[in-house]
Structure 1
Amino acid sequence: MYDPNSASAASGGRMGGRAFSSQSSSSSLSGSRGYSTRSASPGFSYSAPYYAPTPFGGGGFYMGPAFGVGVGAGSSLFLILMGFAAFMLVSGFLSDRSEGSVLTATGKTSVLKLQVGLLGMARSLQRDLNRIAENADTSTPEGLSYVLAETTLALLRHPDYCISAYSSADVKRSIEDGEKRFNQLSIEERGKFDEETLVNVNSIKRQSTTSQRASGFSNEYIVITILVAAEGVHKLPTINGSKDLKEALQKLGSIPASRIMAVEVLWTPQSENDTLSERELLGDYPLLRPL
């Protein structure tokens, strides 16, 4: 019979970081620059008032605004309004184009998730993750790229231990929506731990000294979850076998650092003396598919 008091709290490791705010500021700056360029185009621009001989004869001068068209002020205002309406119509048409369009891909954020179940004998992989978490600088995009590359490489080097996996890819229309989805997935996975015993997130490090005890189960497992938010449209293959898992790991590890907005790697158990039972595996990670 299972004794719930025979095992201590499930330990979990977590490393990574986020850079959504800097990416959002960069996008806003690009957008403002684009607006300034458009506002300077013919038909939408204004300049300082000018002086010219009056068109009504006699002496004196006529003063009026200089529009980007060679007609009167009333007609110019009408043309401006018509041009703005046409611009909004074209913008709406482009926004409804397929996701394969280059124009519609701009500003999109992909949120990727890869989850891998391993046999409990993969203790060397636990040690690899602990080492990465202790040494990585998770406050820079380069550091996040290092975490992602090293984690995917560690899994690629231990294919015999991998017994199940699951992948998903959500493409969001904005950075804000991507950040919201990434945070949702992170909270969901963290909630499966009773305690985060090793943390390195945005270079804020924490390690628990809580002693972990084995539960007595002979059938032990390890689960590693990789979350990535990246600029642009990215996809992962559906996991139906070891070949698909290998392809998914290679795709994640090859995402350029310049496109990475956030990375988070979570694994349980973090302590080598802790145990994840088959019952816990099936209950907490029901989407994992056998390889």
Structure 2
Amino acid sequence: MYDPNNAALAASGGRMGGRSFSSGSSSSRSYSVPGNGGSRFSSYSVPYYAPAPFGGGGFYMGPAVGVGAGSSLFFILVGFAAFVLVSGFLSDRSESSVLTATEKTTVLKLQVGLLGMGRSLRKDLNRIAKVADTSTSEGLSFVLTETTLALLRHPDYCISGYSSVDVKRSVDDGERRFNQLSIEERGKFDEETLVNVNNIKRQSTSSQKASGFSNEYIVITILVAAEGVHKLPPINGSGDLKEALQKLASIPSSKIMAVEVLWTPQNEDDILSERELLEDYPLLRPL
């Protein structure tokens, strides 16, 4: 009963979102200690005591050069610098450190399988992609919020789900993981027929007609990179899916580094069959 001619019809995909990793690296810190050049802390020596050179019971004090009024402040700064270095070393070895928690980047993925009758939801995604300004953090937050709301409003269409969370130790590692997940999902499309990424928009005018194959599905993938540590529950039921969507929608726009929403099929005349659903999205689990 499977019609191979319909396989190509499932390849249209929509994609919207954007990235701002470079502007999200505000948590990186640097510290400096006054050097020797041009500073009032330029040189110092510690007084020492030794026997008098010509005998006798007395002692004399060696020279103490350049010990100014600011020497105590110098030692305070040196001690502070040492504390920062030691704290950073110890925090790298502790996953629960407060210092490194804000420096980490979390990459979240939520994937939802829906019945094909949820065409109104697909129309919602098309509308969001056409109106969103994906060049700003507020626009990315809008894409994320509107997508999660669209899914929350149609729980009866959702039949399967999957979530993953990757906490990376730097922005660069988070960006690499986000790009990897994006490429994996985009590789499942033969053509991106509707695109709005970093406010660069493109829409294909080509259209393919389905031949009445009614066993159809829709898959929506949400990718988010956010500053700090964030969590999603494993998707084992509809309650887990609802919680995951609410958590994604609650991420502050100031913490968002990247958002990407991908869905297939994008073209309303295309079909995603059950066989293609199982082959291309094997991690989806029934709700």
Matched residues in 2 for 1:12 and 1:50: separation? 65
Taking structure 1 as reference, are residues 279 and 215 closer, same or farther at Cα in structure 2, changes over 3 Å only? farther
Corresponding residue number in structure 2 for 1:197: 193
Residue 93 (structure 1) shift: 1.7
Describe how 1:67-216 pairs up with structure 2 within 5 A.
69=71, 88-98=85-95, 100-216=96-212
Find out whether 1:264 has 2:260 as its counterpart: yes
> Distance in 2 between the 1:201 and 1:67 partners?
59
Deviation at 1:286, TM superposition (A): 0.2
Q: What TM-score, normalized to structure 2?
A: 0.84
CA RMSD across the alignment: 3.0
Task: Give per-residue Cα distances to partners, 1:256-281, cap 9 Å, x unaligned.
Answer: 00000000000000011100000000
Shift of 1:2: 3.5
- Structure 1: distance between partners of 2:150 and 2:13: 18
Distance change >3 Å, CA 254–CA 273, structure 1 → 2: same
- Residues 30-77 of structure 1, C-alpha deviations (whole Å, 9 max, x = no match): x24xx14xx26xx999823789xxx9xxxxxx974869646xxxxx99
Contact 1:239–1:289 (Cα < 8 Å) also in 2: yes
Give the letter aligned to residue 89 of structure 2.
G
Q: Cα offset for 1:94?
A: 2.2
Contact conserved, 1:13 with 1:198, CA < 8 A, in 2? yes
Equivalent position of 1:73 in the other structure: none
- 1: CA distance, partners of 2:286 / 2:102: 36
2: CA distance, partners of 1:23 / 1:237? 25
1:96-153 Cα deviation digits (max 9, x unpaired):
123x332220210000000000000000001000000000000000000000000000
Once the two structures are aligned, what percentage of the paired residues are identical? 74
| Deviation digits for residues 1-39 of structure 1 (CA, Å, limit 9, x no counterpart) | 534334544110000000001112x344xx24xx14xx2
- TM normalised by structure 1 equals 0.83
Deviation at 1:86?
6.8
Amino acid at match of 1:92: F
User: Could you tell me how far apart the structure 2 residues matched to 1:146 and 1:246 are?
Assistant: 18
- Whether the 8 Å contact between 1:46 and 1:68 is mirrored in structure 2 is no
Residues 41 and 71 in structure 2, CA contact (< 8 A), matched pair in contact too: no
- Offset of 1:254 from its aligned partner? 0.8
Change (3 A) 1:210 1:94: same
SS of 2:40 mapped into structure 1: strand
Preserved CA contact (<8 Å) 1:7 1:213? no
Which structure would you say has the larger Rg?
2
Instruction: Tell me if the contact between 1:119 and 1:162 (Cα under 8 Å) persists in the aligned partners.
Output: yes
Question: Which amino acid counterpart does residue 126 of structure 1 have in structure 2?
Answer: R
Unaligned runs of at least 5 residues, structure 1: 56-61, 71-75
- Match of 1:263, SS state, is strand
Q: 1:4 to 1:97 in 2, by over 3 A?
A: same
